[in-house]
Structures are given as structure tokens and as C-alpha cells.
Structure 1
Amino acid sequence: MEGWAQKNTVLTAGFAQIPKGTTLYEVSTIVGCVLIIDADHDLICDASFTFVMEKTSEFLVALLVGKSIANGMKEITPVVQERFLGPGQGAVLQAIRAAVDRYHEKKNLS
């Protein structure tokens, strides 16, 4: 069992459309992002993406785990822009942002 399962965690998801004309669009029209967040510390514990190639997902997960979302995307955006140079980078960021925003909306309602 994952270590995050013993914490106060929540699962949130976000999706974004992949731009037409990219190779990635030919495989899938959307990218999905699932984040497991430690709600006590606003830290990403784990993540998953809907990419066909597992290495892409593994790489993005490694970039995100341990990142704080206390200030939205401030800690995440520069890392993804600098290190993920694949097609659909904007869609990936949009999917992550949608998941983070959903988390903050729910947290602010509590």
C-alpha cells in the first residue's frame, strides 16, 4: 500500500484538449491528469497521466511528486516548461492546472 494512503489525501483530476496537428493528437484528443494530494500540507504525493507511452507519464510524475500546490501552479509550471519538451506541453500544464484548481475550489468550500 502506498505511503500516501495513510495520510489525509484527496484525489483530483483535470483534463485538457491536445492541439490538433500534433502527433499526440492522432493518438488521443485529450490528456488527463490525476493528482493525489496531501491535504494537510498541499503536497503532491502521486500522479498519473493518460499517455500511451508509460515513460512520458513516469517522467511527469517524477517532476510533480513532492511539489507544493499551496500557491497554485507557481512551483510546477517552470519545471514542466523547462524539462518536459514533448508535444502538448501546454495541454499537460492545462490538465495539471485543472486538477489543482479543482482541489483548491473544494478546499475553499470546506
Structure 2
Amino acid sequence: MSNEVKDQVLTAGFAQFPKGTSVFETQKVIGCILVINTKTETIIEANFTFISETTNKFIAALLVDEKLDNGIEPLLNKMEKQILFPGKNAVMQAVISAYRNYKEEIIDKATQKS
């Protein structure tokens, strides 16, 4: 493994958009893909499965460089204030799911080492 990705993990989470919203009619599910530096607990890359590149770029910019060592609440508060469309709860749920997958894996590895 190259040193460039040695301390990084790729995690993903998914959530369904609410039925009756226009985004549900075109997309149904949102995926959140995060690359996290495990030493600094910092999101170094983020991507979403939105059709719109503008939406992808904006939400990814909210997440990149965010530290996760104090949990995910500060990030969710930021998203709550800056994302203003009907599917934002699904987006936030996808981020929560990706974060939980990351934390579970990190905790599992730490438990196995001890």
C-alpha cells in the first residue's frame, strides 16, 4: 500500500429520499462516499451520487477538511444551516451512515489489536 493512502479509509453510507419529493422521483437513494485520514480523523475527500454536479461540489466542500475527533454533531449542525432543500435529511442520514461505518471499523480494529 502506498504511503499516500496508508492512513486513509474509504467509507460509504446510503439513505432514501422522502417519497413525494422531486428528487425521489429522479433518484430515490443518495450515496455518500468519504475518504478519511485515520490519524487526523479528518475528511479529506467527499462525493455524493447526486445527478447535479453543483450539488455534489457544494456538499463535498462542506465536508472536506472537517475533523471527526469530536463526533459528527458539529458537521451535522453545519449541514443543517447550509443545505436548504427538501432532501437534506436524507443527505445527512447518508453522512451519518458513512460515519458509523467508519467508526465501527476503527473500533473493531482497535479491539482486535488489544
TM class by smaller structure: over 0.9
Compute the TM-score of the two structures, normalised by the length of structure 1. Answer: 0.92
Taking the aligned partners of 1:86 and 1:93, their CA distance within structure 2 comes to 12
Count of aligned pairs? 107
1:67–1:75 contact (8 Å) kept in structure 2: no
| SS of structure 2 residue aligned to 1:19 | coil
Cα displacement (A) at 1:5: 3.7
SS, match of residue 21 in structure 1:
coil
TM-score using structure 2 length: 0.89
The correspondence of residues 1-110 of structure 1 with structure 2, limited to 5 A, is 5-6=4-5, 8-110=7-109
Counterparts of 1:108 and 1:9, CA distance in 2: 15
| Residue identity (%) | 39
Structure with a larger share of its residues in helix:
2
Gaps of 5+ in 2: 110-114
Q: Which runs of 4+ in 1 moved over 6 A?
A: none
Which has the higher Rg, Structure 1 or Structure 2?
A: 2
1:47 positional shift: 0.4
- What is the CA RMSD across the aligned residues, in angstroms? 1.4
Unaligned segments of structure 1, at least 5 residues:
none
Q: Deviation string for 1:75-97 (max 9, x for gaps)?
A: 21111000010221100000000
Q: State the shift of 1:6 in Å.
A: 4.8
Deviations 1:48-76 (A, max 9, x none): 00000000010001000011112331221
Q: Is the CA contact 1:18–1:29 (under 8 Å) kept in the aligned structure 2? A: yes
